[in-house]
Amino acid sequence: MKKLILIYNPVSGKAVFKNRLDEIIDKFQQRGCVIIPYRTTPENAGLADFIRQMNPDGLIAAGGDGTLHEVVNLVMKENLNLPVGIIGSGTSNDFATYLQLDTEDYFTRIANGETMDVDLGKVGEDYFINVASAGMATSIAHEVDTRLKNAIGKLAYYIHGISTIPQFKAMNLHVKTAEDEFDIKAYLFLVVNSKTVASFKGVANKAELNDGKLDMLVVKECNMHSLVKLTTDLMSGKEVADQENILYVQSDHFEISTDEEMDSDLDGELGPKLPLVLDVVRSAIKIYC
């Protein structure tokens, strides 16, 4: 009988996942899997030891992008060598959305051990599975009130984001890749692993999870009309990579700096301050798919 640890965040999304625990356990039980629930805490002290003691066949991360980020970093830093499944139950579930994992058949595929190798990005000692970013818009996730986010979900990000557009200020960005070098005035940048970022689909039209590359999109300084149009196109699901106000670069190595103090964001979690050095770790982790 396959044994899986279900690592769930009790406050993700509208904090309702705990009401699904019996349903989830039943779905796996019907497929011959034993589920061991683990309720996350802010520190998750002892989680790695718990996983080793339980000796599972795999892990399931239930929460938003931040929960998945924490589980991925735990697997990598603790050398756990376990496949990871994803049950998206947060306000934003970009990676799970991109892989279209919200289906009944997904539980069967996990039970059957179906996985794919996925690249990760690495910044210092930290890993990201979907996106690293910095700039005017990337602070939104950290500024939105948790109560508002739990009440109205993704709409809270959009409301807050639209309200801050008039305050956008460009930064002087220096980007060096393994192949090229750029100096550019920009509002923000994203370095992504999948095509779905901030709930927008098709943001990086060339991105693949196991191509050994990361895709960088830089939103250049532009007038308000162009910026609003770009935002509207993103929200409507249009591809933006080829627009004149976007710089799109693929590489396996990025060095990014600016002339002001700025925090980064890794998968929706607060990351290190710039400058950043980002590298691809090829086929770093197995994801149930």
Q: Report the C-alpha gap between 107 and 146 in whole angstroms.
A: 30
pLDDT score for 277: 98
* Domain boundaries, given as residue ranges, for the chain: 2-113, 126-283
Virtual torsion, Cα 95, 247, 159, 133, nearest 10 deg: 50
pLDDT score for 116: 98
Residue of 208, 221, 239, 269 marked active site? 269
Amino acid in the structure at residue 46: G
Nearest by Cα to 196 from 127, 99, 289, 261? 99
Q: Report the C-alpha gap between 89 and 19 in whole angstroms.
A: 11
Quick one: fold of 126-283?
Tumour Suppressor Smad4 (2.60.200)
Q: Report the C-alpha gap between 268 and 146 in whole angstroms.
A: 13
The answer to whether residues 225 and 237 touch, using CB atoms and an 8 Å cutoff, is no
- Whether this model's pTM surpasses 0.95: no
DSSP 139: T
Q: Report the C-alpha gap between 66 and 53 in whole angstroms.
A: 25
81: how many CB neighbours lie within 10 A of its CB?
A: 9
Tokens 């599972």 appear where? Answer: 56
Instruction: Profile the chain (289 residues) by mean pLDDT over runs of 10 residues.
Output: 95 82 96 97 92 98 94 98 93 85 92 98 97 77 49 42 62 96 95 87 88 96 88 77 92 96 93 97 98
100: how many CB neighbours lie within 10 A of its CB?
A: 9
Residue 251 tokens, joined: 């590489």
pLDDT score for 196: 87
The answer to whether residues 142 and 194 touch, using CB atoms and an 8 Å cutoff, is no
Nearest by Cα to 278 from 205, 177, 173, 208? 177
pLDDT score for 6: 98
The answer to whether residues 107 and 25 touch, using CB atoms and an 8 Å cutoff, is no
Alpha-carbon distances of 20 from 23, 31, 267, rounded to whole Å: 5, 17, 25
Note if 114 is an active site residue: no
Residue 65 tokens, joined: 């992008």
Class level of CATH domain 2-113: alpha beta
Residue 48 tokens, joined: 């790695």
% of the chain with per-residue pLDDT over 90: 67
pLDDT per residue over 123-151, tens digit each? 999 999 999 999 976 655 545 455 544 44
The answer to whether residues 209 and 194 touch, using CB atoms and an 8 Å cutoff, is yes
